[in-house]
Structure 1
Amino acid sequence: MQSNDLQIDSIPPPAKKILFWLKLAVLSVILAYITYTLGQQPANWNRVWQHFQQTNWAGSLALGLVLLTPVNWALEALKWKILIRRVEAVSLTEAYQGVLAGLSLGFALPAQVGDTAGRVLSLRSGRRAEGLGASLVSGGMQFYVALLFGTAAWLHQLLTVPARDTTAGRLLFGLLTSMLLAGLGLVQVRRRLQPADNPRPWLRQLTTYLQVAGQYTSAEFIRALLVASLRYLTFSLQFYMALRLYGIALPVDDMAAGIGLVFLAKTITPAFNLLSDLGVREAASLWVFAPYGVVAPLLLTATLTLWLVNVLLPVLVGLVWVWRLRWSVDLPFRRSRAAGAEAS
């Protein structure tokens, strides 16, 4: 009988080194791009700090930005509550705690490992393999929503920004559209993800984690997808407020398209875990809004403000729940030792 407990397989040291240097190289490129763009501006980081100091935090835009933060993460918790109920029934408060714990762990663990670990380790039952699958579905839904809105945003820029309407730009639009269609195909075949249908051991192990995806009804998928979309619109509104807070005012459709492209870039770019995704959003913003003549210091101040309010603040709150996680994990060597004890 297969265990439902989460297995942790060690990554070979050479692979860890390659992954580390790859992340460092890409992160260096991002930081270099930000530095280069700032160098082309008649301002410096002192201007960014000045803009931040002059922020009217008592104004409606700043208050709205801050007050939408718990709403944003409450929607993520609601999506998690809908999806994890196939594994374990949790309250919205428990789901919220798991989400914040995962957000905090994401600062220390690579990619989405921290987010998944925080949620899975918050479960009371031992069905953590299925919990891992539910977490993958949750992340996949948010990715798909970002891809959907991002594709529409890229189409808008293709039609309105001459610099984007190139062969490469049109090929990118075709690739994004293909990814959207592939996502619909995955939803259709999800019920086939059953361990018994796969003769290869490694594939059986993989589908053990993913089989929960085949248990969701269409109604559950639609509800979770709607919540994911509502959450996307919430943090997009927060980004809009942050831009307006620093006097960045463009036509609404251009602002919406720019925000959609920034979040698309942030979604498809690997997480580097240097203070979470700090740097990715900033570099994407500088590139996306460059055709509109928005000065870099204002953009950087707006994106840093969004990061402070919408990421760092919830991370600090989530640290409280990290200490309450159930850290017991059934490792393979522990199972082998238990099996030996039973045999003796």
Structure 2
Amino acid sequence: MPQLKPQSYAQTTEAPASARYKGWIVAGKVGITLLTLGLLWHSVVADADTAAAWRGLLARTWQGQGRGPVLLALLLMPLNWGLEAWKWWYLARHLEPVSFGRSLRAVLVGLTLGFVTPNRVGDYAGRIMELKSRRLDALGAVFLGRYCQLVATVAAGTVGLLYFLLRFYVAGYPAAQLGLVALVLLLNALVLLPLYYSELLVAAVRAVKPLRRFSRFVAIMPTYPARLLTTVLLISGLRYAVFCLQFGVLLWAYGVQAPVGPALAAIAGTFLLKSLVPSLNALADVGVRELSATHLFGLLGQPVLPVLSASLSLWVLNIAVPSAIGLVFVLRLKVLGRWQKPGSAPAS
């Protein structure tokens, strides 16, 4: 019978990974907190336009004029991010068992980290670090959730911009109008196709040499069933409707009096143009959205100042305030976790 080797109980001098990196993790959290607070101060207080809009928002909340619409927009803020958490819950539980509370926390952490990163890439980091395992696969899940939201934005936004093109730019040219309608239908079909046939998207990523290194992260997308994708897409549409309603009631609170149909077209067009332009951080989104909103509502004969104030107030309610709330969860974030190889079997 072979002899068993004696087991050693001597303590090793090598510190565990969590202890070795603890100082860097704490420093990173403090840095993110200070950077977020600094950007919030710069955008909400130091910036003259946003500060004026914020004071106007508070004035309409405490006074009789516009109190109802502003309070409605404020009450819709948790519904907005609750729907985003619901969407992420559906996507994340395909990878591992996860509660709705953890999904909401992941969304708020991602919102805060995205506030200070180029093109909001911190949103990816915030969500995947809230998972206990399969974090690399989660990159594809986050992208899938963003893509579903983009599908809803493109579907409504192209129709909104089509209204302005037909009314103000190609009026009296039936052939051009018919071509634009066909182009909108084709564009929406092309955007929707990769959602249900994500194998095509994965193959396209693998075919392009500079993108080939990302193929292992999006390989998880074809494992999502069509029924789940449809549910996530419907939630994205509902969240988009909440966005539009918030913008609409804030425009009402600031005195914009455009007809409902054209106003909805302008709102949809504004959201689409903002989504198509990459940004350095959340502050850059402000300029793109305001420029788009003032131009489209200007075509409807609306003054610039109320539209600008409503758009800036929308940003404060949906981005600045939740980003500040997310700081609480950033400080409690567990950065280290299991980074499993992408493409392993889903947990659900």
By the TM > 0.5 criterion, same fold?
A: yes
Q: How many Å apart are 1:178 and its aligned residue?
A: 3.5
1:297 is matched with 305
1:40 is matched with none
Query: How does the TM-score come out when normalised to structure 2?
Result: 0.73
Asked if 1 retains the 8 angstrom alpha-carbon contact of 2:84 and 2:239, the reply is yes
1:116 aligned residue (92, 101, 124): 124
Q: How many Å apart are 1:87 and its aligned residue?
A: 1.1
In 1, Cα distance between the equivalents of 2:51 and 2:116? Answer: 29
1:158 aligned residue (154, 165, 174): 165
The 1:47/1:111 distance shift into structure 2, 3 A limit, reads closer
1:136 is matched with 143
The aligned length equals 286
1:278 is matched with 286
1:1-344 map, 5 Å:
51-52=56-57, 54-57=59-62, 59-125=67-133, 127-159=134-166, 161-163=167-169, 165=171, 176-191=184-199, 205-273=213-281, 275=283, 277-328=285-336
In 2, Cα distance between the equivalents of 1:237 and 1:121? Answer: 32
In 1, Cα distance between the equivalents of 2:122 and 2:220? Answer: 20
The 1:172/1:271 distance shift into structure 2, 3 A limit, reads farther
Asked if 1 retains the 8 angstrom alpha-carbon contact of 2:115 and 2:282, the reply is yes
The 1:136/1:168 distance shift into structure 2, 3 A limit, reads farther
Choose 272-281 or 165-174, whichever is displaced more.
165-174
The 1:305/1:209 distance shift into structure 2, 3 A limit, reads same
What amino acid sits opposite 2:260 in the alignment? V
In 1, Cα distance between the equivalents of 2:138 and 2:258? Answer: 43
Asked if 1 retains the 8 angstrom alpha-carbon contact of 2:110 and 2:127, the reply is yes
Query: How does the TM-score come out when normalised to structure 1?
Result: 0.74
Choose 144-153 or 49-58, whichever is displaced more.
49-58
Choose 57-66 or 297-306, whichever is displaced more.
57-66
What amino acid sits opposite 1:156 in the alignment? Y
What amino acid sits opposite 1:143 in the alignment? L
What amino acid sits opposite 2:143 in the alignment? L
What amino acid sits opposite 2:296 in the alignment? V
The 1:251/1:187 distance shift into structure 2, 3 A limit, reads same
Q: How many Å apart are 1:200 and its aligned residue?
A: 9.9
Residue deviations 1:93-119 (CA, integer Å, cap 9, x gap):
111111111111112211131111111
Percent of residue pairs identical: 33
Q: How many Å apart are 1:314 and its aligned residue?
A: 0.4
Q: How many Å apart are 1:322 and its aligned residue?
A: 1.3
In 1, Cα distance between the equivalents of 2:294 and 2:50? Answer: 15
Q: How many Å apart are 1:240 and its aligned residue?
A: 0.2
